[in-house]
Amino acid sequence: MSDQVVQQSQTNGSVDSVPIEVQRIMRTGTIWTAAGMLAPVLGLGPLVAAGWRPADLAGGIELVFWIGTLVATAGLGLLMWAGCPVMAYTVDQAYTQKKHSIRIGICMNLAGMALVGLVLLLSPAVG
């Protein structure tokens, strides 16, 4: 019985199908890109509006802030690549590229934002 279910799900466009997987990665890559664009705006916008600037941080902490920003930006670039439509590559090549792009992009984007968030939490209060 369970073999029939597995065979039936594989014939009805399962997640193992490379074209369907590429479509899923592009769809979720777009969602992750939107989240990666909105999170810093929602977090840093009020701080910048209140007068906070990265230059206000002590020397080493400011460098950590900018390193986190660069890591998050590189991750966002990978997420954008994962969300782009496939034009110049075969589906198999696109699957390999997008699979790695979305995995590494999510990790880099979240790690960079977490690092920036830690710097913000450890920085002196705006006042």
Query: Residue 80 has what pLDDT?
Result: 93
Cα-based distances in Å from 52 to 45, 48, 90, 123, 127:
10, 5, 47, 10, 9
Query: Is there a contact between 44 and 123 (Cβ–Cβ < 8 Å)?
Result: no
- Token pair for 3: 């073999």
pLDDT at 44 over 70: yes
Nearest to 78 by CA among 56, 95, 59, 100: 100
* Confidence (pTM): 0.79
Q: What would the mean pLDDT of 65-88 be, rounded to a whole number?
A: 92
Per-residue pLDDT tens over the stretch 90-117: 888 889 999 999 999 999 999 999 999 9
Per-residue pLDDT tens over the stretch 45-69: 898 898 888 888 887 899 999 999 9
Secondary structure (3-state) at 105 = helix
